[in-house]
Structure 1
């Protein structure tokens, strides 16, 4: 028996058009603000299927039929959702999400759909969602306390300046302390 191969896409809904519009509110909070409660899994699926059909025509529309696209998790509070899609077609959905520019509800706000993780199991997708939410909380706290120069650096993976460790190195002469493979027990893979 053959198992059906699927992919899980972890997607964040971001609102970059509203950056800098709310003084006193950290930019990360504005960028990751909650999505309207009118966004339901059914509305999200309708919007994604329409975008796939628009971009890829009959081939894309046929690929999305038969229950191959399912919303497994949707959180309007964190603007995050997880999609389950057949492994052969996950790139179609990813491309369609990239080109979607509004929340798929009536009078939806302009937004950006960002695929942040692709996984073969829902467990790994959920773990990544929890890790990203925790990192976002720490980034907002650091930005609010004034520790961060670039407000989006922590979210998008910019490297932070970490203190370097001093490492002592010395040259070893062939006479003192270098062991042969026979002395090490010949730990080869073969």
Structure 2
């Protein structure tokens, strides 16, 4: 029996154009605002497929067809979704997400699709989504207490709480559970 190898991408939708528009809210909350209810899984998949076709043509379109691209989880409140894709073509989808610059609906807001975690199992991606949501809450609470007038210093300073430090850079970092050897890549030590 052959095991189909898949990758799960944890993707965060960020709104950097909204930075500084709401002085009453911490910047981390403004950037990570909820997504419109008009966006659903089907519209998201159509937008991703269109971008892959735009970037990679027939090759990219054929690589992601055949039922190997799907949205496993989508949250409007946290602007987070999990994509399932075959291991051989997950980089095409990642690239397409990087080039997408607005919500794929009519008159969609400008945004950034940020792949924050890649894994071979759904369980690891779910755990990472929960960890990031918890860290985002702690960061927003600390930013509300210590808000300054400079949005860049708010974005890049480390929080000062007793738990492990969480900075905006950590919330935006990418983690990959896959070992380089498994993926056939050469590792330079």
**Structures share fold, TM-score greater than 0.5:** yes
SS at match of 1:152: helix
Residue 151 (structure 1) shift = 2.4
Matches within 5 A, 1:1-190: 1-146=1-146, 150-153=153-156, 154-157=167-170
Count matched residues: 158
Q: Which residue pairs with 1:187 in the alignment?
A: none
Partner Cα distance (2:100, 2:135) in 1: 26
Contact 1:7 1:90 in 2 (8 A): yes
Task: Name the TM-score, length of structure 2 as normaliser.
Answer: 0.81
SS at match of 2:168: coil
CA deviation string 1:46-82 (max 9, x = no partner): 0000000000000001012111100000001100000
Q: Which has the higher helix share?
A: 2
**How large is the RMSD of aligned CA atoms in angstroms?**
1.5
SS at match of 2:154: coil
Structure index of larger Rg: 1
SS at match of 1:53: helix
CA deviation string 1:13-45 (max 9, x = no partner): 000001001111110110000000011000000
Partner Cα distance (1:5, 1:130) in 2: 24
Task: Name the TM-score, length of structure 1 as normaliser.
Answer: 0.80
- Give every structure 1 segment of 4 or more consecutive aligned residues whose post-TM-superposition deviation is greater than 4 Å: none
